């Protein structure tokens, strides 16, 4: 049983590793293939917050729509937090970070945290860690660098966001204490839903 439920969205440019990140979290192996997903993908897992509390997190993945910068309103609605991805080896994905922040903020108030995630640090980078850190700080985001391919900082990235959400939970309107999960799921009905329970982070 869990104490809280919240929705997280993983967004940012196409090809930055968002779907691979979610797959890895669900203990699938990293696959080198490129398989664009269609619609909004949604999965959920239960994580430990501390010794006594757990949270069920519903993850929403842009799933191909970000290619056209056309993610639906529904995607950003009712989220407790967001992970904004860019690729440290692709300047364009970094240049688009501001546009993504604007889209997110239009749908959510400033108390909903976003963390900025620089992925693919196994590749030759064109964006320095310092520049990304400064950008993140300017927009009140935490910054973390990861490599989905090498499995670097995967859990830390998720924990960073969860901690951020949990610390400010009084100001966050989108954290549900569990009472009526079915209604919540109906409100935010996904195109596709994969259930995966019992996956604990620690």
Ligand X SMILES: Nc1nc2c(ncn2[C@@H]2O[C@H](COP(=O)(O)OP(=O)(O)O)[C@@H](O)[C@H]2O)c(=O)[nH]1
Q: Considering the complex, state which of residue 5 and residue 148 has its C-beta at the smaller distance from ligand X.
A: 148
Residue in 19, 45, 108, 119 binding Mg ion, rule: CB under 5 A: 19
CA Rg value for the chain: 16
Part of the chain binding Mg ion (CB under 5 A), chosen from 36-44, 75-83, 92-100, 191-199: 36-44
User: From the CB of 48, what's the least distance to ligand X, in Å?
Assistant: 26
User: From the CB of 98, what's the least distance to ligand X, in Å?
Assistant: 18
CB under 5 to 8 A by kind: which of Mg ion, ligand X, none does 176 bind? none
Q: Considering the complex, state which of residue 107 and residue 149 has its C-beta at the smaller distance from ligand X.
A: 149
Interacting residues toward ligand X by CB under 6 A: 14-20, 32, 34, 119-120, 122-123, 147-149
Give the pairing type, strands 142-145 and 114-119. parallel
CB under 5 to 8 A by kind: which of Mg ion, ligand X, none does 26 bind? none
Q: Considering the complex, state which of residue 89 and residue 172 has its C-beta at the smaller distance from Mg ion.
A: 89
Q: Are 41 and 58 contacting, i.e. CB atoms less than 8 angstroms apart?
A: no
Part of the chain binding Mg ion (CB under 5 A), chosen from 5-13, 29-37, 71-79, 95-103: 29-37
Residue 65 interacts with Mg ion (CB under 5 A)? no
Q: Any alpha helices (H) in the chain, and if so which ranges? A: 18-25, 73-76, 91-95, 97-107, 129-138, 154-167, 181-187
Q: What torsion do the CA atoms of 87, 91, 93, 98 make, to the nearest 10 degrees?
A: 120
> How many angstroms separate the CA atoms of 143 and 145, rounded?
7
Q: Considering the complex, state which of residue 149 and residue 155 has its C-beta at the smaller distance from ligand X.
A: 149
- How distant, in Å, are the alpha carbons of 33, 124, 195 from that of 149? 12, 14, 24
User: From the CB of 147, what's the least distance to ligand X, in Å?
Assistant: 4
Sign of CA dihedral 26, 195, 42, 198: negative
> How many angstroms separate the CA atoms of 6 and 73, rounded?
17
């Amino acid at each position: 049983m869990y104490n809280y439920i919240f929705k997280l969205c993983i967004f940012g440019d196409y090809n930055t590793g968002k779907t691979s990140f979610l797959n890895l979290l669900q203990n699938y192996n990293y696959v080198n293939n490129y398989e664009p997903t269609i619609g909004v993908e949604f999965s959920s897992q239960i994580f430990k917050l501390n010794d006594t509390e757990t949270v069920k997190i519903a993850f929403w993945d842009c799933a191909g729509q970000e290619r056209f910068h056309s993610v639906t309103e529904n995607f950003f609605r009712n989220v407790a937090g967001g992970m904004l991805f860019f690729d440290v080896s692709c300047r364009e994905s970094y240049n688009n970070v501001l546009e993504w922040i604007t889209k997110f903020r239009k749908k959510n108030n400033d108390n909903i945290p976003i963390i900025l995630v620089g992925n693919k640090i196994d590749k030759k980078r064109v964006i320095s860690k310092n520049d990304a850190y400064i950008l993140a700080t300017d927009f009140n985001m935490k910054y973390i660098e990861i490599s989905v391919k090498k499995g670097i900082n995967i859990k830390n990235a998720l924990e960073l966001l969860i901690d951020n959400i949990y610390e400010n939970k009084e100001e966050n309107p989108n954290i549900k204490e569990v009472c009526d999960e079915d209604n919540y799921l109906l409100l935010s009905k996904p195109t596709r839903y994969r259930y995966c329970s019992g996956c604990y982070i620690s």
